[in-house]
């Protein structure tokens, strides 16, 4: 995920929730595939989204831990 995240951010800026704006001003969002499963689970969705809103670059290990109710 870091490889995809760093390529368009050259000359751009990172924004929260996995969003970034490239050097030309075009917005991108880099999302791990596991996120779909986490937000589809009614017991994990709230914790997952709360954790995601506090992140700039999405941290898969942190999302998984928080979704399971474990401090990351």
Domain assignment of residue 18, yes or no:
yes
What's the rounded Cα separation, in Å, for the pair 60 and 38? 11
Domain assignment of residue 63, yes or no:
yes
Give tens-digit pLDDT for 18-42.
888 888 888 988 888 999 999 999 9
CATH number at residue 54: 3.10.180.10
What's the rounded Cα separation, in Å, for the pair 67 and 32? 14
pTM for the model stands at: 0.76
Domain assignment of residue 39, yes or no:
yes
Domain assignment of residue 40, yes or no:
yes
Q: How many domains does the chain have?
A: 1
Q: For residue 44, what pLDDT is reported?
A: 95
Domain assignment of residue 56, yes or no:
yes
- Quick count: other Cβ atoms within 10 Å of Cβ 10? 8
Domain assignment of residue 72, yes or no:
no
Domain assignment of residue 19, yes or no:
yes
- For 6, the domain range is 2-67
- Quick count: other Cβ atoms within 10 Å of Cβ 61? 8
């Amino acid at each position: 995920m870091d490889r995809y995240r760093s390529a368009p951010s050259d000359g751009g800026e990172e924004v929260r929730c996995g969003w970034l704006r490239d050097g030309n001003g075009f917005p991108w969002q880099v999302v791990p595939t596991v996120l779909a499963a986490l937000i589809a689970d009614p017991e994990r969705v709230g914790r997952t989204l709360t954790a995601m809103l506090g992140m700039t670059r999405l941290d898969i290990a942190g999302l998984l831990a928080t979704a399971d109710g474990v401090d990351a």
